[in-house]
Amino acid sequence: MKRIGILTSGGDCQGLNAAIRGVAKALYVKWGKDLEIYGIQDGYRGLITGEYRKMKQEDFSGILTLGGTILGTSRQPFKKMRVIEEDNVDKVCAMKENFKKMKLDCLVILGGNGTHKTANLLSEEGIPVVTLPKTIDNDVWGTDMTFGFHSAVEIATTVVDCIHTTATSHGRVFIVEIMGHKVGWLPLYAGLAGGADVILLPEIPYKLNSIVKTLEQRNKEGKNFSILAVAEGAISAEEAKLSKKEFKSARASMQYPSISYRLAAELGEATGQEIRVTVPGHFQRGGSPCAYDRVLSTRFGTAAAQLIANKDYGKMVALKGTQIIGIPLSEVAGKLKTVPVDCEEIQSGRDLGISFGD
């Protein structure tokens, strides 16, 4: 009898259920009645506290298009995994004990950067692990694409598209704040797809005067509206010079709810134009996965099942070009896939006359 555990950790995104389905169905095809799958509730927290249930084969039917995760999820910071807190629980020991209690042959983990750090930790502790990269930020090292990204791009692009009509009608400047705290893949793609005039990314500190010049130039050309796709983690050139401590202090004392609102106030004062801010927020994580993510999640899931069948543990499935491969967790954990400032997408934007604020 093969016994496999599955958990989803970190922020939710589209395609999690499709990926779970891909893993489970491929394993059932291989082992049939000789397989038991245990769903671990609410991510690593469930593995720590021992909250899990034996799944039925029918649990994995009808979930291909379902958003969220049927297993629940939670954020368990990696930096606290080896810290014994007030509850006196040794988290790593607890996870290892519950793995043994379930008599698992392998643990399948779906998650982003923090999730993969802990997955690598468990692998180093001797637990057979296979992982799948999910995040709307597309910032997991080692894979060309994560599932959830394209679905979020579709939603963010739709927001930009809809803002265009009201911006042109009223002759306003609109800032659309798009998720991307440390990495700007999502605002970059949504900005390009939605025809934004300015795209601000965490990787490219912006200068207010540069944005002002872009808006003024558009006005001179008779274009009385502008769209800015702004990453929630966008930073000014002045902020980029600060230390981490100074930056956190500056943001903590900022009187605006987010960088987009501060930028709106600064641009309004500098240009005299009417500035509006739209924040789609968690809408970008929700809903049914797009067709691309359904296919990618399924491919990741079946590839993970093959790694399990081959006992090729300690690997993350990844998209490289058109192929799905397995790469060692040790090569993934702790690394962030940022947007290269000289990448083709940014160059294409510059060729179109899009300003990146620099």
Contact 9, 41 (CB under 8 A): no
Which is catalytic among the residues 137, 139, 197, 293? 137
Q: Three-state DSSP class for 228? A: strand
> For residues 107 and 190, what is the distance between their CA atoms, to the nearest angstrom?
34
> For residues 349 and 191, what is the distance between their CA atoms, to the nearest angstrom?
9
Token representation of residue 327: 């790469």
Q: Which of 242, 117, 218 is nearest to 168 (CA)?
A: 218
Residue 88 backbone class (left: φ over 0; alpha: ψ -120 to 50; beta: rest): left
**Cross-strand bridge partners of residue 176:** 229, 278
In this structure, what are the phi and psi dihedrals at residue 317, rounded to the nearest 5 degrees?
-75, 140
Q: Three-state DSSP class for 316? A: strand
> For residues 325 and 307, what is the distance between their CA atoms, to the nearest angstrom?
10
Q: What is the DSSP string of 276-306?
A: EEE--GGGGG-SPPPHHHHHHHHHHHHHHHH
CA-atom Rg of the chain in angstroms:
22
Looking at residue 338, what DSSP letter applies? P
Give the rounded distance of the alpha carbon of 110 from its chain centre.
12
Contact 214, 247 (CB under 8 A): no
Which amino acid belongs to residue 158? T
Contact 203, 224 (CB under 8 A): no
Catalytic residue list contains 137: yes
Question: Which residues are the active-site residues?
Answer: 137
